[in-house]
Amino acid sequence: MGDSHSIVSQIGDLAQSGEKMIERLRRKAFLPDSRKGLNVRFGIAEAAQLLGCSTNRIRMAEDDGRLPAAPAGENGRRIGYNVDELLHMREVLDALPHRGPDDVPSMIAVQNFKGGVGKSTVTTHLAHYFAVQGYRVLVVDCDSQATTTTLFGFNPHFNISREETLYPYLSIDPTQADLLYAVKNTPWPNVDLIPSNLELFDVEYELAAAGADGSSILAARFRKLKQGLMDLARNYDVVILDPPPALGTISLAVMQAANALLVPMAATTPDFCSTVQFLNMMDQVIAQLVEAGIEIDYNFVRLICSKFDANDPSHTMLRAIMEQTFGAALLPVPILESAEISHAALRMMTVYELEKPIGTPRTHKRCKANLDEAMGQIEQLVRAGWGRVEPSSEEEVLHAPA
């Protein structure tokens, strides 16, 4: 008996040495204060493409003083614009993609109960994609595993206390009346984060215990999360929710607070089967929630294939099966498996944060182009929800059938 106890006590030792190693990695990856800096820059051609204008228009605005002179390095050559400068440029040249005052903020839950599908990777890349495009973004980490919080440069164990998560707002004895207390700045000037840590899981216990006396407490909590997020969302265009990968109370509250659902899935048979199970469960649960008087309504529900390797025949076969099964609900462009994404994750970054390629420039370029296209599909859905149809490019207009 003593033996098995000592084996179990190893778990604590493993956790402790793991935490120490995370700190070492963090010190290597981050600045001394354990907050990441954002050093990514955009050349004038890329800036013009992002703003949908000509490089000439940017140069003219710099010449006539509407924009500051282009930043230059020590040798006098242009060094490209940082994200702050890019946002200022959007403001001056009237190229901010913000929603209109009557448009409802898009609140996207990124959910699948299967682990390892890249849920947090999709969440953070989506947030940074929207940031580069000039949107105001709020990311809400609702998962006590806190991977998204970590990817944003916070250590959930050392930097984040329970009082800084959703806990004080959602607990049975709440100490906060709104969610403003939890919003943190990130290295991105137009992305904020509500972080998470392991103690957020206490909410599950509390609500499960309270729910045993009847579901009215749960229903009130569900409405409370939605209300709190809607109040906060007034200052944002897009809110991205990362729920726990399990059918618990928090997960259900998040699914109810969202107005769009994105389901990432990897191209393997077990992932396909478990995603079908997830959709089945969601269907049943939504029916029960509606019966209990809790509304759920989505502007869009889409599946996205993540970690797709075009050179793997089994991936290609499964992708065909997904297309046949899910039809138009499956986004046409998958997120390709790329060493660049894994290399960036090792540094606790997304590809959008890299100053320069980690692998070959070609790999980096291909990966970024794919991410832009994959995430751009979601941006189009968000804009369609606001009644914005993207203007056709000149090319399309010229070659359109009469």
For residues 217-230, average pLDDT: 87
What is the phi-psi region of residue 195: left when phi exceeds 0, alpha when psi lies from -120 to 50, beta otherwise?
beta
228 or 11, greater pLDDT? 228
Asked if 196 and 146 touch (Cβ cutoff 8 Å), the reply is yes
Report whether pLDDT(262) > 90.
yes
Mean per-residue pLDDT, 352-366: 92
Query: Looking at the predicted structure, is the pLDDT value of residue 392 above 70?
Result: no
pLDDT given at position 115: 73
pLDDT recorded at residue 32: 42
pLDDT tens for 116-135 read 778 899 999 999 999 999 99
What are 85-118's pLDDT values in tens digits? 999 999 999 999 999 999 999 999 999 887 777 8
Going by pLDDT thresholds of 50, 70 and 90, the confidence category of residue 254 is very high
Indicate the Cα dihedral angle 40, 42, 46, 50, nearest 10°: 70
Eight-class DSSP state of 271 = H
Q: In one letter, which amino acid is 32?
A: P
Residue 3 pLDDT more than 90?
A: no
Whether 140 shows a pLDDT value over 60: the answer reads yes
- Residue 348: the pLDDT is 84
The yes/no answer on whether domain 106-387 falls in CATH 3.40.50.300 is yes
In degrees, rounded to 5, the angle at the alpha carbon of residue 89 between the alpha carbons of residues 361 and 236 is 95
Kindly list the domain boundaries of the chain, sorted by start residue: 44-92, 106-387
The confidence band for 373, taking pLDDT boundaries of 50, 70 and 90, is very high
Which secondary structure element, helix H or strand E, spans residue 288, and what is its range?
Answer: helix 269-291
pLDDT at site 397: 45
Contact 51, 95 (CB under 8 A): yes
Task: Give the number of other Cβ atoms within 10 Å of residue 345's Cβ.
Answer: 18
pLDDT at 28: 66
Contact 67, 92 (CB under 8 A): yes
Q: What is the pLDDT of residue 311?
A: 92
**Can you give the pLDDT at residue 159?**
87
Q: What is the CB neighbour count within 10 angstroms for residue 251?
A: 22
Which range among 90-104, 358-372, 379-393 shows the weakest confidence by mean pLDDT? 379-393
Report the mean per-residue pLDDT for the chain: 87
* pLDDT one-digit tens code per residue, 35-68: 567 889 999 999 999 999 999 999 999 999 999 9
Beta strands in 288-384 (DSSP E): 300-306
Output the pLDDT for position 16.
73
Q: Is the pLDDT of residue 5 over 60?
A: no
Q: How far is CA 323 from CA 314, 326, 330, 341, in A?
A: 14, 5, 6, 25
